[in-house]
A and B are shown apart, each in its own frame.
Chain A
Amino acid sequence: MFSSLNRLLMSRMGPAITGAVVGILAPVLSFLGNPANMGICVACFSRDIAGALGMHRAAVVQYIRPELSGFILGSLAAALVYKEFKPRAGSSPIIRFFLGIFAMIGALVFLGCPWRAYIRLSAGDLNAIPGILGLTLGIVIGIYFLWTGFNLGRSYKARTPMGMIMPALAIVLLSLLIMAPTFGPDGTGPIFFSESGPGSQHAPIVIALGVGLLVGWFAQRSRFCTVGAIRDLVMLRDGHLFKGVLAFIVMAFITNILLGQFKPGMAGQPIAHTNILWNFMGMVLSGLAFTLAGGCPGRQFIMSGEGDGDAGIFILGMVVGAGFAHNFNMASSGAGPGAFGPSATVVGILFCLAIGFLMREKVSV
């Protein structure tokens, strides 16, 4: 049964099956306590972790999300079982770090990663539409660079401990979540946990971790990627990964209706703002940064579980970026973009364009 599941996940149906599973489980996680329309959001959850570790002091978004540890460990388990664990690193790590920072800033201007954009759409939040259009434009700009020789250089085989750093971090985060130690002089944090707001809303740890492990496993086997989906469709007319996104949206839509979580409209959507321009521009930045880095944030977590140290660096960039985004008043809130969100988005886009133009070389043949 195990091997037939694996054959299925590695087949043409693999991304669609993974997309359907995520599409069902994400709204269920919201139903069980995760923030509304945020059953799984890789960017928001990384931001919550940054807050829990005291890297920003936005008191309403601080929690160690076990789903993300689950992604890394589920992917690690699948990669080990199927002999795909290959520690590797060395492909422009410092650039990937900054791409992670700016991808996160863009995501927090929109208020969600691509996964959450699709979840928001499936729950009737029409503000997701400019976000998804922006995401697509960002990816198309990235494709232009890919066709004209953009390249962050090769990664090289590394030793096993290198590939184990991110899985070890995943375990450390889980232990911090469970033990919630206080290091401060007055018996305070870190670790910080929100007492109100989205950070205080979470599904039971065991269920959240279980979903993370399952999704990590499925995504590792099927290579599910929400940015690669659009990229391959546009660039190669290859709908293999895109079927995953379609299945994700359709199943999330059905599940949201069944759970009474479907509320169409623009105003008053949970953890969202209605500024069309900056919903669009934030995701242009994210889409471009993710495309230059080779995959959506979920995919970066999966690859870091397979031993890809460069994906790990990108994730650390996202966590640091979340700290900056909140400390420097760049993240949006329900009221609209933060005071410095728009200018940070422009800076981020200029950074990505510069990287796209300057990191070009002829690779082969």
Chain B
Amino acid sequence: MEEKTTVDARGLSCPQPVVETKKAMSRRSGGKIEVLVDTVTSRENVSRLARNQGWEVSPEELPDGGYRVTITKAQDVKREK
């Protein structure tokens, strides 16, 4: 069963989207987290954080002009560079 966490960081100013994402990541060893943001800067910052921590990142634009950054990491696989 796939667990999914959603972090709604829309409208939060820098660096809170990153802080909230980091908190969500540190609560679990892997899986899937969806982060909602509304600026390109937040999208980039969240993506950079997740990549640095060894998560897979896939951002997409939403119809309302915001972004959903889906970050995933296999729970049982070691991080590979």
Task: Determine whether B57 belongs to the interface, using a CB cutoff of 8 Å to chain A.
Answer: no
Interface size class of B (residues with CB under 8 A): 20 to 34
Q: Which of B7, B18, B40 contacts A365 (CB 8 A)?
A: B7
Residue of A nearest to B23 (CB): A365
Query: Which A residues touch B49, using CB under 8 A?
Result: 236, 238
Q: Which of A231, A235, A306, A310 contacts B13 (CB 8 A)?
A: A310
Of the 9-residue stretches A24-32, A153-161, A165-173, A243-251, which lies at the interface with chain B? A153-161
Q: In the bound complex, do residue B20 and residue A88 qualify as a contact, i.e. CB atoms below 8 Å apart?
A: no
Query: Which A residues touch B24, using CB under 8 A?
Result: 364-365
Q: In the bound complex, do residue B13 and residue A147 qualify as a contact, i.e. CB atoms below 8 Å apart?
A: no
Q: In the bound complex, do residue A146 and residue B52 qualify as a contact, i.e. CB atoms below 8 Å apart?
A: no
Complex: how many Å from CA A157 to CA B37? 12
Q: A364-B7, A364-B20, A365-B24 are in contact. Are A235 and B15 (CB under 8 A)?
A: yes
Q: In the bound complex, do residue B13 and residue A146 qualify as a contact, i.e. CB atoms below 8 Å apart?
A: no
Q: A238-B49, A238-B52, A364-B7 are in contact. Are A223 and B13 (CB under 8 A)?
A: no
Among residues 153 to 191 in chain A, which have CB atoms less than 8 Å away from a CB atom of chain B?
A: 153-157
Residue of B nearest to A299 (CB): B14
Q: A86-B65, A240-B48, A363-B20 are in contact. Are A232 and B6 (CB under 8 A)?
A: no
Task: Determine whether B5 belongs to the interface, using a CB cutoff of 8 Å to chain A.
Answer: yes
Q: In the bound complex, do residue B12 and residue A223 qualify as a contact, i.e. CB atoms below 8 Å apart?
A: no
Q: In the bound complex, do residue B48 and residue A364 qualify as a contact, i.e. CB atoms below 8 Å apart?
A: no
Q: In the bound complex, do residue B6 and residue A151 qualify as a contact, i.e. CB atoms below 8 Å apart?
A: no
Complex: how many Å from CA A226 to CA B68? 28
Complex: how many Å from CA A365 to CA B10? 13
Query: Which A residues touch B7, using CB under 8 A?
Result: 364-365
Q: Which of B8, B9, B15, B16 contacts A232 (CB 8 A)?
A: B15
Task: Determine whether B60 belongs to the interface, using a CB cutoff of 8 Å to chain A.
Answer: no
Query: Which B residues touch A363, using CB under 8 A?
Result: 8-9, 12, 16, 20
Q: In the bound complex, do residue B14 and residue A294 qualify as a contact, i.e. CB atoms below 8 Å apart?
A: yes
Query: Which B residues touch A156, using CB under 8 A?
Result: 11
Q: In the bound complex, do residue A154 and residue B15 qualify as a contact, i.e. CB atoms below 8 Å apart?
A: no
Q: In the bound complex, do residue A88 and residue B14 qualify as a contact, i.e. CB atoms below 8 Å apart?
A: no
Task: Determine whether B62 belongs to the interface, using a CB cutoff of 8 Å to chain A.
Answer: no
Complex: how many Å from CA A320 to CA B11? 26
> What is the predominant secondary structure among interface residues of chain A facing chain B?
loop
Q: In the bound complex, do residue B16 and residue A88 qualify as a contact, i.e. CB atoms below 8 Å apart?
A: no
- B16 CB to nearest chain A CB (Å): 6
Complex: how many Å from CA A365 to CA B12? 14
Q: In the bound complex, do residue A365 and residue B15 qualify as a contact, i.e. CB atoms below 8 Å apart?
A: no
Task: Determine whether B58 belongs to the interface, using a CB cutoff of 8 Å to chain A.
Answer: no
Q: Which of B11, B15, B23 contacts A228 (CB 8 A)?
A: B15
Query: Which A residues touch B52, using CB under 8 A?
Result: 236, 238
- B60 CB to nearest chain A CB (Å): 16
Task: Determine whether A91 belongs to the interface, using a CB cutoff of 8 Å to chain B.
Answer: yes
Query: Which B residues touch A310, using CB under 8 A?
Result: 13
Query: Which A residues touch B41, using CB under 8 A?
Result: 84, 223
Q: A236-B22, A238-B48, A363-B20 are in contact. Are A155 and B6 (CB under 8 A)?
A: no
Task: Determine whether A212 belongs to the interface, using a CB cutoff of 8 Å to chain B.
Answer: no
Task: Determine whether A295 belongs to the interface, using a CB cutoff of 8 Å to chain B.
Answer: yes
Q: Which of A86, A235, A293 contacts B39 (CB 8 A)?
A: A86
Q: In the bound complex, do residue A157 and residue B38 qualify as a contact, i.e. CB atoms below 8 Å apart?
A: yes
Q: Which of B8, B14, B22, B48 contacts A295 (CB 8 A)?
A: B14
- B26 CB to nearest chain A CB (Å): 11
Task: Determine whether B56 belongs to the interface, using a CB cutoff of 8 Å to chain A.
Answer: no
Given pairs A310-B13, A364-B9, 17 additional interface contacts (CB within 8 A): A84-B41, A86-B39, A88-B11, A90-B11, A91-B11, A91-B13, A147-B19, A151-B12, A235-B19, A236-B49, A236-B52, A293-B13, A363-B9, A363-B20, A364-B20, A364-B24, A365-B24
10 cross-chain pairs, A with B, having the tightest CB-CB distances, nearest first: A154-B11, A294-B13, A155-B11, A294-B14, A364-B7, A364-B20, A84-B40, A364-B8, A146-B19, A223-B41
Listed A/B pairs (17) with beta-carbon separation below 8 Å? A10-B44, A84-B41, A86-B38, A152-B13, A153-B11, A154-B11, A154-B12, A156-B11, A157-B38, A225-B14, A236-B15, A238-B49, A238-B52, A293-B13, A295-B14, A363-B12, A365-B5
